Amino acid sequence: MDKQSAKQFQDLLLSYSQENSADGRQKMEEHIWKQYGTEQAAFVLDMSGFSLLTRKHGIVHYLSMVRRMQMIAEPIIKTHHGKIIKFEADNCYAVFPDTLPAINVAVALQLAFEASNLITPDELDVHIACGIDYGKILIIGEEDFFGDTVNRACKLGEDVAAAGEILVTRDALQRIPPEADIKSHAVNISISGIDIPAYSIEYHPQT
C-alpha cells in the first residue's frame, strides 16, 4: 500500500467519527479490518539509556548509536521473515507471521549487540529491550500499525523490559510449539491498573 492507501485509511476514520448510526459504524469498522487488518506478531525494540547517555554525551553521540542499531537490526529482522513497519527515534517496530520468528529475532539481536559491544567503548555500547505480542493488527501501508496487540508489545518493550530483556505476552507465548524448546519464566506486569500476563525469555545457557 502507498500513501494514497494511508490517506484512504484516514478518510475512513473521519467518516466513522461522523457516522451517527451504530450499525453504520459497525459496518465501517468491519470494512476497515477487512482492508487493513491482519493477525501477526508485533515486535518492538527499544534502546536503553537514552536520557542518561544524551545528557552525558550529547544528542549526536546517541543518534550515532541509533544509526548503528538500525544497521544491525534491519538485516536480522528481514532474514527471519519480519517486516519493518518503521524506525522511530530509538525504536524499531516490526511484524512477523508468528511468535517464534519474532522471539528468534529478539534473541539474535540481543546476541548481536552483545558481540558488537565487545569492540566498542562502553559509552558507545548499544543495549536493547524487546516486547512481543500476537493478535489482530491494523497495518497502514509502510507507515504505521495499530491495535491492542501493538499497544501491549510497546508497553512491554518500551516501558517494562530492562536492557537485555525480551518480554512476551502469555497469549503470544502459547503459540510456540513445545518442540521449539523456548525457555522462559513468568513476570508480573501491571500498567495503569491493567495486568498483562507475560514471560521473560531465557536465551543465555544456564551455568
pLDDT of residue 206: 60
Task: Give the chain's domains with CATH numbers.
Answer: 39-202 (3.30.70.1230)
pTM: 0.92
pLDDT of residue 1: 47
Q: Return mean pLDDT, the chain.
A: 92
CA distance 123 to 196: 34
- Please give the average per-residue pLDDT across 118-137, as a whole number: 94
- Please give the average per-residue pLDDT across 127-140, as a whole number: 97
Q: In 3D, which of 92, 98, 47 has the Cα closest to residue 73?
A: 92
Q: How far is CA 75 from CA 70, 84, 111, 112, 178, in A?
A: 9, 10, 14, 12, 28
Q: Roughly how many angstroms between the first and final C-alpha of the chain, as a whole number?
A: 48
The tens digit of pLDDT for each residue in 94-119 reads: 999 999 999 999 999 999 999 999 99
